[in-house]
Amino acid sequence: MVEKRSVSRVIFNIFNYGFMFLFSFICLIPIWHVAMASISDPRLLMASKGVLLKPLGEITWDGYAMVLTNKSIITGYVNTLFYVLATTIIMALGTLVAGFLLSRPNFKLKGPLGIGIMFTMMFSGGLIPSYMVVRGLGMTNTRWAMLIPGVLNAFYIMMMKSAFEQLPGSYEESAKLDGAGPLTILFRILVPLLKATIAVIVMFNVIQQWNSWFNASIYLTKTREYWPLQLFMREILINNDASKMATNLDAEKASSFVGNLVKYCVTMVGTLPLLCAYPFAQKYFVTGVQMGGVKG
Amino acid sequence: MGTLAGCGNYADGGRNNDSGNASGSGGAAEEGKQLLPEDDASKEITFSVWTGADDYKHYNSYAENPVVQCLNKKFNIRMEFQQPPMGTEVDNFNVMLGTGDYTDVMNTTYSTSSQSALYEDGVIIDIAPYLETYMPNYYRVLQEDSELRRLVYDDDGRAYGIYNVEDLDRNQWGGMVYRRDILETMTGGNIAFPSGGEEPVTVEDWEYMLPFIKTYFDNSGMAETAPLIIPACGYIMTGELIAGFGTSGTWQLGRDGSTVEYGPATEEFYHYLCKMKEWYEAGYIYQDFASRTNDLFYLPNTSLTYGGGAGVWMGLLGQTGSAMSLPEYGLNMDVRPITAPLDTAHGISEKDASFYIFSGVASMPFCISSSCDEDKIARILTVFDYLFSEEGTILRNCGLNAEQAAEDVIYQSYSGMEKGAYWYDEEGNYCVNETFTNATDNFDPNSFFGNRLPGIPAHMPDPANIERTAQDDMEDHAGEVWITYGRERQIPTGAVMNADESKKFNNVRTQIMDYVDSMVPKFIMGTEELTEESFRKYVEQLSALGMEDANDAYRSALERYNAR
Amino acid sequence: MNEVQMEKKIRKGMTWRKDIHVNWRLYLLAIPIIVYFVVFNYAPMAGLVMAFQDFKPTKGIFGSQWVGLQNFVRFFSSPNAFTVIRNTFVISALGLFIGYPMSIGFALLINEIRLKWFKKTVQTISYMPYFITTIVICGLIIDFCSSSGIITNLLVKLGWMERQNMLTNPDYFWAINLISDEWQGLGYSSIVFIAAITNVSGELNEAAAIDGANRLQRVWHITLPGIKPMIVSMLILKCGMLMTVGFDKILNLYNPSIYSTADVISTYVQRVGINGGEFGYSTAVGMFNSVVNTALLLIANHLSAKYAEQSLF
């Protein structure tokens, strides 16, 4: 399409590009600040204020060395990868089936099921009863506690349901005539058409799982070896603050400041994988979210 | 003192020396035999312990702690630890209580109900009857310290916790500090405090000092400076600074020592506010103090303190002397400890001042839960009692000796630590492993001790192989300065509220503190008018919010404590 | 009669027995889903009774004392109740009425960018702040708004206010919170709309351009109606969260001198809860939140069905 080059268009473009440039700059500030702080001289960092545009003093990788040699970080990374992968599969299967059911036109259970699922978005029972259920199932201090509770989410199911409803009915009609069952229709015919929506909920789930720590903190108190990355990171962050308080140990003279870098290094280590993965997922968002959110 | 025994073995005779059981504990032993089932030392027992976590660099769970490992071997036990991540302890403890899934031993520090309440609800057991028989060392410690004894035993003579006994005089890790170098520069070395001493003591002295600091900073060209930093709520919770005005920011004993009053409602508090407001208007107080809620009160705005932009603040031992200097950037600081300014204009003298450290004589009570198998209790008590013996104290506080370290994975895996944490040289002098002093950031000294277990502090001689530095002397000096005022008006830690009192107190506590915390900064910054009239209204509002209820709750707890 | 109505009629006419007979395979598929929600969501809802108890962890749900509506009475009669409810509502409504249109506007502006690489880069960068820990973001905000911070300096230079710490002035908190929310979340929250816009038919747009419609007209008459369903369904969901304000950020940003505008329900419950471990009380407050949210969701859904001919359920 050829754009008309009217004066107002040019003025608009100047402003629009200018605004976007400025906005990008503002959005870049925090991550840039964190990146620069993570390799700054820790003692100077302690005495600095405001945004860092370049590292302070000599560049140091001590903070990263400290974080990455922490025994727990590696364990955490491996666990988190496993949880992200496994929950994504479970979540995708459950959400697909639930969304599919809610979108069946001649299904009497559809109404009650939909309301039942929506209701869980608004009300929850709280910590202790949830714990008792999970414990009753023998899941506490096992990896199952990270995989099953909370894996299905009403929001995603509603999104999936809308996506199914958007598809023209003709696709499955022919399949039905061939005598295909619901599972065949779902996985053979509909899933390939909804790749984009699935990609979106997968991405949402990955972000959510990557950042989750609360369930682990409640259910995995005896099994630190199962902890996800974020829980270890949280502990490092909190502990780092707490241990700044000089202890009565002569050895811990305040001469060491590398601890100050930890907050920044942990942020980088914890979010960089997601930041890098995001642009790749971006192309799916372009068609995905739209199909999910809409009910015509 | 010679080389101490290795991890040894409890089963073959360990119980006969000072580490072990009741052989020398006197008359009650006979009777005590029936208290608990006979403990078969040759049988390994396993027990679980709920306690808070730390991020130890050299292991994942406290069960791998070298001291724990050593105890495991010595007593033929296996300790399992249930540790919630830091920051979620309260939730976790409540979940454990709510689900009835108790561990055998629990550290009740994070409990929201008192030990008496836990006992009444059947969560923990009373260990008082067993102390003399099974815990002779702990029992002896209790006999020697009346304040500790009053903390451990409740009104009905029951005892629940095995405590970590604090070393208050040695643990003074922080207090007010000031930049001596600024004063030297501004006065050309002729510092003349109005009170005549070497160091500032009175409000007058501070008012002599603060203008110098302000002028110094005004001329320094620095973007942000603060002659005096106070925390976001307007006073330091542990009582530094405000102590000089004869009051505190929390509940305290009245001047007669037998009543309870709420610091922020006292007349002295009004004097404090007036002075702070005056100083704030004069530009002495950090203009942004009220927004710094995320700063730990002992680490106020580090960019100011470490950047050389602060004059007086709540500092740490490690910040004293020239420790904060950055000669390569032309920053030379001489940081000195300082006492709170005595409000002599209102007749406050040293004896009226008192600071309020939060930690009491003891902390981290380990309690035995009701779901602990009766057969195990004797052994568990014996293990914990060992930590109060001479040998156990050294093991817990100083770490493993060479012989013990030879059996420990963690000690062996860290280069430099395989020699043990300490040893005695040929002349019998106490020596500390140099690895501790030359520690790098990837080395975590705390991993090698057992400070997370209950016990008493070890008073070891200064190590012979490590030289005392000027910094060490400065820190000793700071420790002395900071405890000048004592803690006479602190409500004793042992004055614990019962269920009714604590309910009454909790109902009003948040709203009272919220109100005080929101009003004090406004009074100081001048956004709320500060006159005797407005202060009276503020005190009236505190009463309306239930301050008397809270005072009453404390008072009855105190009365019961005093009667013990 | 449209399809939806017809479908409803058909379903009504069908008896359960008949439906199970016809759709037995669907019922079979529904079993695991129902079991999941019953076990992990509905069973724990028994815990909601804590709202009516003086809940003691040691006594559990079955042993704790019943106190009727005492927890609710305590919340509504506490001196802070009105303030925290109002603040929660205002902060969240500002997000809805200002923040929400802004994310749509941002998506429209992004859509106007023709340079592909620039568009992608802007998009990628704009969601980055979303991933930075709240603590770090709040640290920066506190720095910027301090009495010598860059934002304060700017506003003072422009003559818009006197030099002061903006975070200790109750009048500014809502603005600071809203603006920083947008800073952190604008890019992320507009992804949905950017995606929706790309799907609006290009043909229509082109035809309109040939008919001489200018950009603004095309946005107004083609793009916006095209993404209307998305806007409406997100709006309904947002209405259902109007009484929920993420508390991490406020907890890190507020201070006692601005409780009057910054204290929200969740931060208040956190303070009370942590001090007293009061499960009953916080469950009661949470329940109040849920009820209000549900009511708002139902109202929004109803209004939307009536006026926008679209509903979530």
B308 and B324 share a domain?
Answer: yes
Strands (E) located in C104-164: none
Whether A282 shows a pLDDT value over 50: the answer reads yes
pLDDT at C281: 86
pLDDT band at C178 (very low <50, low <70, confident <90, very high): very high
The domain total for chain B is 2
Q: Is residue B484 part of a domain?
A: no
Last residue of a domain, one of B448, B477, B510: B448
List, as one string, the DSSP characters of B155-184.
TTS-B-EEEEE--TTT---EEEEEEHHHHH
pLDDT at B439: 66
Cα angle vertex A243, ends A242, A246, to 5°?
115
B161 and B186 share a domain?
Answer: no
Element at B315 (helix H, strand E): strand B310-316
Contacts of C127 in chain A (CB under 8 A): 27, 278
pLDDT at A247: 40
pLDDT at C23: 83
B340 and B369 share a domain?
Answer: no
Q: What is the pLDDT of residues A119-139, one digit of tens each?
A: 888 888 777 888 889 989 999
pLDDT at B72: 94
Q: Is B139 in a helix, a strand, or coil? A: helix
Whether B174 shows a pLDDT value over 80: the answer reads yes
Name residues whose C-beta falls within 8 Å of residue B78's C-beta, 6 or more positions apart in sequence: B44, B45, B46, B47, B72
Q: Is B121 in a helix, a strand, or coil? A: coil
Q: pLDDT higher for B494 or B531?
A: B531
B527 and B512 share a domain?
Answer: yes
B75 and B194 share a domain?
Answer: no
Whether A161 shows a pLDDT value over 60: the answer reads yes
B259 and B328 share a domain?
Answer: yes
CB-count exposure of residue B440 (10 Å: 0-12, 13-18, 19+): exposed
Find the mean pLDDT for residues B223-233: 90
Minimal CA separation from C201 to chain A, in Å: 12
Contacts of B288 in chain C (CB under 8 A): 146-148, 165, 168
What angle, rounded to 10 degrees, do the helices at A110-122 and C279-307 form? Answer: 130
* Domain ranges, ordered by start, for chain A: 1-60, 62-296
Q: Is B109 on the interface with C (CB under 8 A)?
A: no
pLDDT at B26: 40
Minimal CA separation from B299 to chain A, in Å: 8
Q: What is the pLDDT of residues C119-154, one digit of tens each?
A: 888 888 888 888 777 777 888 898 889 888 889 989
Q: What is the pLDDT of residues A163-182, one digit of tens each?
A: 787 777 766 777 777 777 88
Whether B1 shows a pLDDT value over 80: the answer reads no
Bridge-based pairing state of the strands B45-50 and B77-82: parallel
pLDDT at C5: 58
Is B365 within 8 Å of B163 (Cβ atoms)? yes
Cα angle vertex C108, ends C105, C113, to 5°?
130
Whether C6 shows a pLDDT value over 70: the answer reads no
Minimal CA separation from B94 to chain C, in Å: 6
Contacts with C, A 141-200, CB within 8 Å: 148-150, 152, 155, 158, 162, 181-183
Q: pLDDT higher for A247 or B289?
A: B289
Q: Is residue B475 part of a domain?
A: no
CB pairs under 8 A between A and B: 141
- What CATH fold (topology level) applies to the domain C80-307? MetI-like fold (1.10.3720)
Is C131 within 8 Å of A33 (Cβ atoms)? no
Residue whose pair of structure tokens reads 């929400």 in the numeric block = C100
CA distance A237 to A255: 19
User: Which chain A residue's Cα is nearest to C185?
Assistant: A27
Contacts of C79 in chain B (CB under 8 A): 511, 545
B315 and B368 share a domain?
Answer: no
B48 and B78 share a domain?
Answer: yes
Residue whose pair of structure tokens reads 């032993």 in the numeric block = B29
Among C291, C243, C294, which Cα is nearest to C268's?
C243
CA distance A71 to A60: 21
Q: What is the pLDDT of residues B99-108, one digit of tens each?
A: 888 999 999 9
What average pLDDT does the structure give for chain B? 85
> Which has the minimum average pLDDT: A27-36, B433-442, C125-134, C247-256?
B433-442
B59 and B157 share a domain?
Answer: yes
Find which of C71, C134, C255 to mutate to test the B interface (most B CBs within 10 Å of its CB): C255
Q: What is the pLDDT of residues B446-482, one digit of tens each?
A: 888 888 899 998 888 888 888 888 888 888 898 888 8
CB pairs under 8 A between B and C: 96
Q: Is residue B5 part of a domain?
A: no
Asked if A287 lies within 8 A of C198 by C-beta distance, the reply is yes
- Give bridge partners of residue B106 from the DSSP assignment: B50, B367
CA distance A100 to A161: 6
Residue B176: HSE in the Cβ half-sphere, 13 Å Cα cutoff: 30
Q: Is B292 on the interface with C (CB under 8 A)?
A: yes
CATH number of the domain within which B243 lies:
3.40.190.10
Last residue of a domain, one of B397, B424, B448: B448
pLDDT at C201: 62
pLDDT at B289: 92
Which sign does the torsion angle of CA C270, C276, C279, C282 carry?
A: negative
Q: Is B517 on the interface with C (CB under 8 A)?
A: yes
Find which of A1, A15, A27 to mutate to test the C interface (most C CBs within 10 Å of its CB): A27
Whether A160 shows a pLDDT value over 90: the answer reads no
B261 and B343 share a domain?
Answer: yes
B217 and B99 share a domain?
Answer: no
Superfamily per CATH, domain A62-296: MetI-like (1.10.3720.10)
Among B499, B434, A107, A63, which Cα is nearest to C276's?
B499
Q: What is the pLDDT of residues A30-48, one digit of tens each?
A: 888 889 989 988 778 777 7
User: Which chain B residue's Cα is nearest to C166?
Assistant: B291
Contacts of B290 in chain C (CB under 8 A): 165, 167-168, 255-257
pLDDT at B5: 44
Give the domain extent around B24.
14-169+360-448
Q: What is the pLDDT of residues C18-67, one digit of tens each?
A: 888 888 888 999 999 999 999 999 999 988 888 898 888 778 788 888 99
Selecting from C42, C132, C287 the residue whose C-beta is nearest the C-beta of A34 gives C132
pLDDT band at B77 (very low <50, low <70, confident <90, very high): very high
Q: pLDDT higher for B383 or C305?
A: B383
ipTM: 0.83
What angle, rounded to 10 degrees, do the helices at C100-111 and C116-126 form? Answer: 160
| Separation of first and last alpha carbons in chain C | 19
| Separation of first and last alpha carbons in chain A | 29
Buried b or exposed e, range B443-470, using 16+ CB within 10 angstroms = bbbbbbbbbbbbbbbeeeeebeebeeee
Cα–Cα distance list, B390 to B4, B141, B452, C36 (Å): 10, 11, 18, 57
CA distance B486 to B478: 14
Q: What is the pLDDT of residues B179-205, one digit of tens each?
A: 999 999 999 989 999 999 899 999 999
Residue A277: HSE in the Cβ half-sphere, 13 Å Cα cutoff: 13
Find the mean pLDDT for residues B2-9: 47
CA distance B237 to B231: 9
Whether C267 shows a pLDDT value over 90: the answer reads no
pLDDT band at B2 (very low <50, low <70, confident <90, very high): very low
pLDDT band at C157 (very low <50, low <70, confident <90, very high): very high
Contacts with C, A 65-94, CB within 8 Å: 94
Bridge-based pairing state of the strands B105-107 and B45-50: parallel
Whether A52 shows a pLDDT value over 60: the answer reads yes
Cα–Cα distance list, B276 to B241, B301, B499, C73 (Å): 10, 19, 38, 39
Q: pLDDT higher for B93 or B278?
A: B278
B405 and B427 share a domain?
Answer: yes
Q: What is the pLDDT of residues B130-148, one digit of tens each?
A: 999 999 999 999 999 888 8
Q: Which amino acid is at B531?
A: T
Q: Is A223 on the interface with C (CB under 8 A)?
A: no
Whether B21 shows a pLDDT value over 50: the answer reads no
Contacts of A71 in chain B (CB under 8 A): 57-60
pLDDT band at A62 (very low <50, low <70, confident <90, very high): confident
